[in-house]
Structure 1
Amino acid sequence: MLRTKPIENITEVAAELNGGGLQRNISLFQLTMLGVGATIGTGIFVILGDAVPKAGPGVVLSFIIAGITAGLTALCYAELASTIPASGSSYSYSYATMGEMVAYLVGWCLLLEYGISASAIAVGWGQYLNELSFDLIGMKMPDAIANPPGVNGGIFNLPAVVLVFMCCTLLLRGAKESARANAVMVVIKIAVLIMFILIGMTAFNSANMHPFMPMGMSGVGAAASSIFFSYIGIDAISTASEEVKNPKRTLPLAILFSLAIVTTLYVLVALIGVGTQPYTEFSGNEAGLVHILRRITGATWPSVVLSIGAIISIFSITLVVLYGQTRILYSMARDGMLPSIFAKVDAHSHTPRKNTIIVGALVAIAAALVPLDVLADLTSMGTLVAFSIVSVGVIILRKTRPDLSRGFKVPLFPLIPLLSVAFCAYLIVGLPKQTFLLFAGWLAFALVFYFTYSVKHSRLENPPTQ
C-alpha cells in the first residue's frame, strides 16, 4: 500500500509494455490549446446559468476564487509535470511520492472527474443544436431526444451519443490529429467569446451589479465550489506528458499559458453576462449566452455565431476530456491497477484503441440516459481532491528527492503548495453533503476493487521478467 514507483523508471514501463509506447508529437501551442479546449466551455457555456442564481453578480468573484485556486495548483502541476513527464497526471505523481494506495485512490478520483464531466458536457450539446436549428430554420428537435431524462421531457439524449461517437472516431486516428483539430476549434471558440464580450459591453448596466452578493459570501463560495470542475484543463494537459515534445519545458509553459487565457475570458464573460441583465433572470438554461445576445441585438446572426461557437466548443471539450480519461486508464492499467486491455496500444495509430472504444461507449450511455445535473458537484470533488494531493506531492518530493532535475520550480516554496491545499479545502467544504456521501461510496467501491484485484496484479508486486 505504501510502495512507490521509482521515478527514473516511471516512463520506461510504457515502452517495455507496448513495444514503443506513445509517440511524442504534440507542440507547445497544441498542448496549450488542448488545455484551453478542456476548460473554456464547461464554466461559461454550460454552468454559468446554474452558478449565477447561487451567487448573484458575485459570480464574478466566484470565478476569481476558483481561478486563484487553480493558479496555485497550476504552479504545483508545472513542477511535477516537468519532473515526472509521464502519462497519468496526478495519479503518476502520487505513485512516485505517496505510494500505491494514495495513487490508486487519486486515479479513481480522476476517473470520476473525467468520466462524469465528459457525460455532463455532452448533455448540453443538444441544447445549442436546438438553438441553432431554431435560428436558421425555425424548428427544433423533439425534447424527447434533445434533452437528458428528467429535463424538459427528455428520454434519450441522441445528440450527446452522436457527439461522443464523433470524438472517439477522431481520437482513434491518433493524438497528433486530435491535437491539430482541437487547436483549430479552440481558436474559433475564443473568437466567439470575444465577440460576446464586445457586443455585451454595449448593453452593460451597472445597476444589474447591485446587490453584488445577495446570498452573501456563502453563495459566492458555493458557486466557486460548483464551477471549479471547469478548470479540469490543467489536469488534462498533464495527461499528455508522454506525447509532448520536450516535456520538461513544454508542460509547465502550457499549464501557465492556458490558465492565464482561461481565467481572463471566464471573468470577462461572467462580468458582461451579469451586467447585461438582472441575476434573477439567469437559470440552468444551457444556451443562456445565446439568449442574452438575441435580446441585446434583436437580431439572429449574433446568436447563430455564438451557437456555432458553443457547438464547436463543447465538441472540443468532450474530445479533450475523453482523451484524458483514456490516458488515465492507460497509466493505471500498465501498472496493473486495472485490467491490461486498457493499456494496449494500437500499432498503427499509436493510441489505446480498445480503451478509447470502451470509454466512449460508457460515456455515451451515461450522457444519453442519466440526468447528470446532481453530479457536477461530484466532479468538482474529484478534481479538488486530486489537485490537493498534487500540491502535497510537491512538498514531499522536494524533501525526499532534492536531487531530481526540475524544469520548473514552484516559487515561494512551501507557501504556494500550502495555500493551494488551503484553497482546495475551502472549496471542498462548500460542496453539498450529498456530494460527500456519493464520493465516499465511490471510494468504497474503489477499495473493494483494489484489495480483490489491483493489489495482486500490481507491477510492483509482479515485476516483469527480464
Structure 2
Amino acid sequence: MKKELGLLGIFCVATGAMISSGLFILPGLAFSKAGPAVIVSYIIAGVLCIPTLLSKAELITAMPKAGGDYFYIMRGFGPLLGTVAGFSSWFSLSLKGAFALVGMSAYLSLVTDIPLNIIAVGCCLFFIALNLLGVKEAGRFQVFLVMGLLGILFFYIAWGAKTVNLGNFSPFFSKGLGPVFATASFVFISYGGLTKVAALAEETKDPGKNLPLGMMLSIIVTSIIYTLVIFVTNGVLNPAVLRSTLIPISEGAGALGGGVLRVLISVAAFLAFISTANSGLMTASRYPLGMSRDKLLPSYFQKISAKRKVPYAAILFTGSFMILALLFLKLELLVKIASSILILLYMFAISLLFCLGKARYLVTGQSFSRLSIHISRS
C-alpha cells in the first residue's frame, strides 16, 4: 500500500473520528444523567485517553503496521487475545461510524421527508465508494471536512461565550458525583477514534513521527472543543430543553443567533458526521486486512486493488456491516457497546506496553489454533 498520509492528514482523520455524534447528539443525553457537571464528565473521558495515547505512540514507533490494536496485541499476547482485540476494534469502529451516520440522518431529517435509514444507508454507500478510490483521495476529503468543521465550531464558541448565563450551572453537581463518573464512561465513545488511526500506519509517511504527533494534537484540540462548546450550550439553553433534545448544539445556535447560526451549526454537524463515518470506515477496514495476513481470517480480506492500492475486500465487508448496524441496532445500544469495547481495548494497549517494553517482534503468520507467539527482547 502507498504511503500517502502526512501529519495534517493524520490529525484530521483522528479529529474527524472523534468529533461527531459525541458532540452534536450526546450532550443532551449526558446532561440528563449528570446535570451541568457533564462538562467534567467529558474532561474525565479525555484525560483517560492520555495513557493509551502514550502507550500507542510507543507501540507505533516499534511496529508501524496495518491493523492497529490487533497487530500489537497479537504480537504481545498471542493469537487468542489478538483475535479478540481485532474483532473488538473492528466492531467498535464500525459501530462508531454507523452512530455518526444516524446523527447525520437526524440533522438531514430537518430538511427532507426521506426516512432516516434510507439517508444513512445512502451515505454509507457513498463512503464505501470514496474509500475504494484510494486513501489519498479519502484523506484529502477528510482534511477539507475537518478544517471546515473546526472553523464553524470556534465561531460558535466566540459568538456564544459573551451571552452565557452562569445561573444555568448552579447547582453544578445537581445529580451528585456518582453520575458524573458514570456519564464519563457513557461519553467515552466521543474520544473513541483517537488512537485507531494507528491502523493506517502502513499508509502514513514517517509513521513513527507523524502518528504520535498527530494523535497528541488531535486530543488537545478535541478536548478544548468539547469543553468550550458544551460550556456555551449549557449556558445559553434552558436546562429542560437541553436534557430532552437530540440536537443540543443546533438548539444552542438557535438560541444565540436564530436561523443563520443554526444553519452554520447544522452544516458543522453534517461535516462532523461525514468525517467520522469516513474515518471509521477507513480505519476499521484495516483490521480484517491485518487479521487475514496472520491467517485468522480468510485470505480474501488481503486483496488489494492493483490500481488504487486499497484493501477493497475489507472495505466492502466493513461497509456492509455498518449498513446492517444502521438497519437493526438502536442508538443508545450502539453507544453503550462501542464505549465498553473501547475501554477494554485501551486497557489491553496499556498492559501490552508494560509487558513488552522495547520488544522486537517476529511476524510468523501463525493460525488461530497456534497459541504461541515469538517475542525476542533486545
Structure-2-length-normalised TM-score: 0.93
**Counterpart pick for 1:273 among 229, 233, 242:** 233
Q: Which residue matches 1:75? A: 54
Q: Which residue matches 1:60? A: 39
Q: Which amino acid aligns with 1:326?
A: S
Question: How far off is 1:363 after superposition?
Answer: 0.9
> 1:334/1:173 Cα in 2 relative to 1: closer, same or farther (>3 Å)?
same
**Counterpart pick for 2:156 among 196, 203, 227:** 196
Question: How far off is 1:171 after superposition?
Answer: 0.3
Q: How far apart in 2 are the matches of 1:141 and 1:34?
A: 31
Q: How far apart in 1 are the matches of 2:109 and 2:55?
A: 41
* Number of aligned positions between the proteins: 370
**Counterpart pick for 1:334 among 289, 293, 318:** 293
Q: How far apart in 1 are the matches of 2:163 and 2:335?
A: 31
**Counterpart pick for 1:376 among 316, 319, 335:** 335
Q: How far apart in 2 are the matches of 1:353 and 1:271?
A: 42
Q: How far apart in 1 are the matches of 2:6 and 2:370?
A: 35
Question: How far off is 1:313 after superposition?
Answer: 1.2
**Counterpart pick for 1:48 among 5, 15, 27:** 27
Q: How far apart in 2 are the matches of 1:115 and 1:285?
A: 25
Question: How far off is 1:375 after superposition?
Answer: 2.6
Residue 208 in structure 1 maps to residue 180 in structure 2: no
Q: How far apart in 2 are the matches of 1:221 and 1:284?
A: 21
**Counterpart pick for 1:249 among 171, 189, 209:** 209
Larger relative CO (CA 8 A, sep 6+): 1 or 2? 2
> 1:233/1:370 Cα in 2 relative to 1: closer, same or farther (>3 Å)?
closer
Q: Which residue matches 1:161? A: 121
Provide the alpha-carbon RMSD of the alignment.
2.1
1:120, 1:373 within 8 Å by CA — same for their partners in 2? no
Partner of 2:285: helix, strand, or coil? helix
> 1:174/1:458 Cα in 2 relative to 1: closer, same or farther (>3 Å)?
farther
Question: How far off is 1:86 after superposition?
Answer: 0.9
Q: Which amino acid aligns with 1:259?
A: I
Q: How far apart in 2 are the matches of 1:283 and 1:113?
A: 26
Q: How far apart in 1 are the matches of 2:264 and 2:310?
A: 34
Question: How far off is 1:369 after superposition?
Answer: 3.8
Q: Which residue matches 2:320? A: 361
Q: How far apart in 2 are the matches of 1:337 and 1:46?
A: 36
Q: Which residue matches 1:295? A: 255
Q: How far apart in 1 are the matches of 2:301 and 2:101?
A: 23
Q: Which residue matches 2:269? A: 310
**Counterpart pick for 1:141 among 113, 116, 126:** 113
Residue 25 in structure 1 maps to residue 21 in structure 2: no
**Counterpart pick for 1:217 among 152, 171, 177:** 177
Q: Which residue matches 2:70? A: 91
Question: How far off is 1:110 after superposition?
Answer: 0.7
2:104, 2:273 within 8 Å by CA — same for their partners in 1? yes
Q: Which amino acid aligns with 2:119?
A: P
Question: How far off is 1:121 after superposition?
Answer: 1.5
> 1:319/1:459 Cα in 2 relative to 1: closer, same or farther (>3 Å)?
farther
Note the residue ranges of structure 2 that are not aligned, 5 or more in a row. Answer: none
2:68, 2:199 within 8 Å by CA — same for their partners in 1? yes
> 1:281/1:454 Cα in 2 relative to 1: closer, same or farther (>3 Å)?
farther
Residue 349 in structure 1 maps to residue 328 in structure 2: no
Question: How far off is 1:182 after superposition?
Answer: 0.2
Q: Which amino acid aligns with 1:76?
A: S
Q: C-alpha offsets along residues 91-130 of structure 1, whole Å, 9 cap, x if unaligned?
A: 1111121111111111122122112222221111111113
Structure-1-length-normalised TM-score: 0.76
> 1:459/1:242 Cα in 2 relative to 1: closer, same or farther (>3 Å)?
farther
Q: Which residue matches 2:350? A: 391
2:34, 2:174 within 8 Å by CA — same for their partners in 1? yes
Question: How far off is 1:302 after superposition?
Answer: 0.8
Q: How far apart in 1 are the matches of 2:54 and 2:370?
A: 34
Q: C-alpha offsets along residues 29-56 of structure 1, whole Å, 9 cap, x if unaligned?
A: 1111111111111320121121111111
Question: How far off is 1:202 after superposition?
Answer: 3.0
Partner of 1:85: helix, strand, or coil? coil
Note the residue ranges of structure 1 that are not aligned, 5 or more in a row. Answer: 1-21, 134-139, 147-156, 405-452, 462-466
Percent identity (aligned): 25
Partner of 1:354: helix, strand, or coil? helix
Question: How far off is 1:358 after superposition?
Answer: 2.1
Residue 259 in structure 1 maps to residue 219 in structure 2: yes
Q: Which amino acid aligns with 1:328?
A: Y
2:120, 2:326 within 8 Å by CA — same for their partners in 1? yes
Q: Which residue matches 1:416? A: none
